[in-house]
Amino acid sequence: MGKLLTPAEHTLDGWFGKYIRLRDTPGPCVTCGRWLTYEDSECGHFITRDNHATRWDERNSHAQCPYCNGPRKGEQFKHGLRVEEIHGKGTCDILRWKASHSIGFKEWEIREMSKKFRLLYNELKKTKAAA
């Protein structure tokens, strides 16, 4: 079991997950290809959320169906293949390197990231509504 989140980290998780799901939907599950809407998607992570260095990295997270993200435990191998397709060859290596280096975020950094993803979510929501 991972460490308990601070209230600010919990808020950041919420905005980050909302943004990733809105960014990637409607569209296919990153691992099985099942067509997803915002409502039936989850924010899946290539490198698990236990690692704070990559937890809120946009390259590490994509919309995933509940089955792939739950019982299939994220389908890390398939997710990694898609990370390379989406973000370019070598991205998995970059994320693995980042994950191997301990990063501790200060409370103000967590709040700033939360603000960033809230703004990105709201802007994307407006853009998609206008389309």
**Quick one: CA dihedral 112, 49, 101, 79, positive or negative?**
negative
Entry pTM: 0.94
Residue 2 banded pLDDT, cuts 50, 70, 90: low
- Report phi then psi at 97, rounded to 5: -60, -45
pLDDT (tens digit, 9 = 90+) per residue, 61-114? Answer: 999 999 999 999 999 999 999 999 999 999 999 999 999 997 889 999 999 999
% of residues, the chain, pLDDT over 70? 98
In 22-127, beta strands by DSSP E:
27-28, 35-36, 42-45, 61-64
- What is the average pLDDT across 19-42? 98
The pLDDT, as a whole number, for residue 21 is 98
